[in-house]
Amino acid sequence: MDEITLARGLHVLGVVIWIGGVSMVTTVLLPAIRTMGTPEERIRIFSALENRFAWQSRFTTLLTGFTGFYMLYALNAWDRYESIGYWWVHAMTAVWFIFTMVLFVLEPLILHKWFQDRARVNPEQTFRIIERMHRVLLTLSLITVLAALLGSHGVMFGND
């Protein structure tokens, strides 16, 4: 097995665990928590569960980013950023960048405190914001995964 094959395998594994986890949180965990206790309890339960998942997300996001950029380097495929037909490469990079910023910069430096402060004032609205953010990120992620799968198997999108 060559390095590109290993990188591709690790890349896909990272995406499956990462985006699969986002899907689980968005479509199962958040709706289940919505039916539990008071709004304050919902925020507390979500925070406790999401904190455990955050480390997994951070690891798989790093793995996915490292292997993705390694493949671009090893294949000398940087020119894909110049072609509209490879918009899915741009989308993969954008989704990775958004999650990386949220997980490593915004959440620890800004969002954690902001959500805690908002939850004290209006926990129900805060929970709705969390749900909405997860739905948007999951939707962008799933569109990107589908486009990347099709694109990496030769389906071209758009004209050059």
Q: Identify the segments of the chain with pLDDT beneath 50.
A: none
The residue ranges of every structural domain in the chain are 3-152
Instruction: Give the span between the Cα atoms of 91 and 55, in whole angstroms.
Output: 23
- pLDDT tens sequence across 28-48: 999 999 999 888 898 889 888
According to DSSP, residue 36 is labeled S
User: What is the distance of C-alpha 55 from the center of its chain?
Assistant: 13
Quote the distance between the C-alpha of residue 148 and its chain's center: 14
- The pLDDT, as a whole number, for residue 140 is 97
Q: What is the pLDDT of residue 155?
A: 84
pTM as predicted: 0.90
pLDDT value of position 138: 98
Phi/psi of residue 35, nearest 5 degrees: -90, 0
